[in-house]
Structure 1
Amino acid sequence: MKTAIVTGAAAGIGAACAKRLAADGLAVGVLDLDEARCAAIVDAIRADGGTAVALGADISKRAQVREAVANCREALGPVTVLVNNAAVTDFTPFDEVTDELWDHVYAVNVRGTFVVTQEVLPDMRAAGWGRIINISSSGAQTGNPGMAAYSSSKGAVITLTRSLAQELGPFGITVNNIPPGSIMGTIMAEENRSRFVIPVDTLIANMPVRRLGEPDDIAGACSWLCQEASSYITGQSIGVNGGRVVS
């Protein structure tokens, strides 16, 4: 049984990905800032016959991540699948962004992805096999007004994906990126619904698929990228956005 860690997995996209990977037969480390918040997802996975453990860490803090990865490894075995989903968002006009706010967004969204990936990489190298899926944002592809810190940090995640794909490919490790677009049912989306520049009804009317996305849409793509069927795919951005961004 392969073991995965999904960050930011207590709710939303991360929870959906954790449940889907468990349904696919992987053991899952459900990691979030507050370990207690992961309990419901772990219980749901176990109720469906899956294997999971709750993990707590601030992904921007290496010591906490290292401990969480060690706990996961001890409970479930070497980690060969990683979904870097944990992130923070921000809706501050550019001229009001402080140094502290900018640094916080980058600490979680960029350094956190870097730290967690580094900490699980030895397991993947030892296995000669690995799957890394980074969750970025369609805002990194288009830009968003009032979201310079968030969008640019997610752009860094896309570039990191491309670089790691080239560096880690010879070791049997693929690295891909999913930039979600217009996904409802996440903490970020629900807490910031009133800040959307485009009203939801207008957004739906202009979406090629005529609906908003759900966390399970991202989980489906994540599941596919973890399978052998996708072994020749690396360094790619798999847009799950209903056609909001086309390439």
Structure 2
Amino acid sequence: MSTATTPARTVVLTGAASPRGIGLAAARRLAAEGSAVAILDVRGAEDAAAGIAAEFGVPALGLTVDVTDVASVDAAFRYVQEELPPATGLVNLAGISSPTPFLEITPEEWDRVFEVNMKGTFLVTQRALPAMIEAGTGRIVSLSSISAQRGGGTYSKVAYSAAKAGIIGFTRAVAREVGEHGITVNAVAPGPVDTDIMGGTLDDERKAAMSQGSLMGRVASREEVAALICFLLGEDAGIITAATYDINGGLQIS
């Protein structure tokens, strides 16, 4: 599949190289819609981007990046700015889970969960915003979790829940500061999703256990979450900002 015109924008996605992840599903959907994409991940980014470029015929970069490291993030964005159309879309997906009970978690593990989930979102967003402000437009979507709203109860426990709750507050506060520049900032809070983040591939038994209490009786697919993310990155979502979108089949009703 190829596009006839040069993409008008680039969407940067962190943590989007996993073959069974929400990020890669979103990147593929964005490419199908004609956006250039830049995948920033600690491993697998080059292969993921090469596959997207070959399938959809859009410019795609894959860069090995540590989102917790200022120099790594800065170098990646400089390269994206040199090689691709204006980066006016950002999806913060890089994250790690933590199933360790509160009384057992070490300060080192606590810090690592916050480094990747919260500090990474801060560093990448701060680095992405100047180009959006200059362009007078931008879309930022960050991944929170039902765990932030329910206080765990799915797979991860206190550290992850606290970090993902931080994403919601971060989203609202940044949205207040950048709205005047035509930039929207939103969060997506999925319930259980059929990915590998929750301790490996979900078999039918685990899916059934995780969807207990859900009004829809099942876990979400990667593509369903990706579709919501891509809507929030699109032109039709221009009036939506500082919002947190639940996508959990009614497992949590806010």
How far 1:200 sits from its partner (Å)? 3.0
What is residue 6 of structure 1 aligned with on the other side?
13
Preserved CA contact (<8 Å) 2:208 2:218:
no
Aligned in 2, Cα 1:205/1:152: closer, same or farther, shift over 3 Å?
closer
Structure with more of its chain in helix, by fraction: 1
Matched, 1:72 2:87: no
Q: Within 5 Å, which residues of 2 pair with 1:1-247?
A: 1-11=8-18, 12-34=21-43, 37-46=44-53, 47-144=55-152, 147-184=157-194, 186-191=195-200, 199-247=206-254
Aligned mates of 2:171, 2:38 — CA distance in 1? 22
Deviation at 1:215, TM superposition (A): 1.0
SS at match of 2:140: strand
- Deviations 1:102-159 (CA, angstroms, capped at 9, x unpaired): 1111111111000000111110000010000001111001011561000100000010
TM-score (norm 2): 0.90
- C-alpha distance after superposition, 1:185-206 (max 9, x if no partner): x231352859xxx953244353
- 1:246 shift after superposition: 1.6
For the residues of structure 2 that align with 1:84 and 1:69, how far apart are their CA atoms?
14
**Identity across aligned pairs (percent)?**
39
Contact 1:166 1:235 in 2 (8 A): yes
TM-score of the pair, normalised by structure 1? 0.92
State which drifts further: 98-107 or 203-212.
Answer: 203-212
1:140 & 1:234 partners in 2: Cα distance?
A: 19
Per-residue deviation at 1:182?
0.9
Q: Which amino acid aligns with 1:183?
A: V
CA distance in 1, matches of 2:120, 2:210: 31
The answer as to whether partners of 2:214 and 2:251 remain within 8 angstroms in 1 is yes
CA RMSD of aligned residues (A): 1.7
**1:15: Cα distance to partner?**
0.7
Name the SS of the counterpart of 1:6 in structure 2.
Answer: strand
User: Aligned-pair distance for 1:51?
Assistant: 2.1
- The match for 2:3 is none
Aligned amino acid, residue 133 of structure 2: R
CA distance in 2, matches of 1:98, 1:73: 39
Check conservation: 1:33, 1:58, Cα contact below 8 A: yes
Does the CA-based 8 Å contact 1:55-1:72 persist in structure 2? no
Matched residues in 2 for 1:218 and 1:199: separation? 19
| Secondary structure of residue in 2 paired with 1:81 | strand
Give unpaired runs (5+ residues) of structure 1.
none
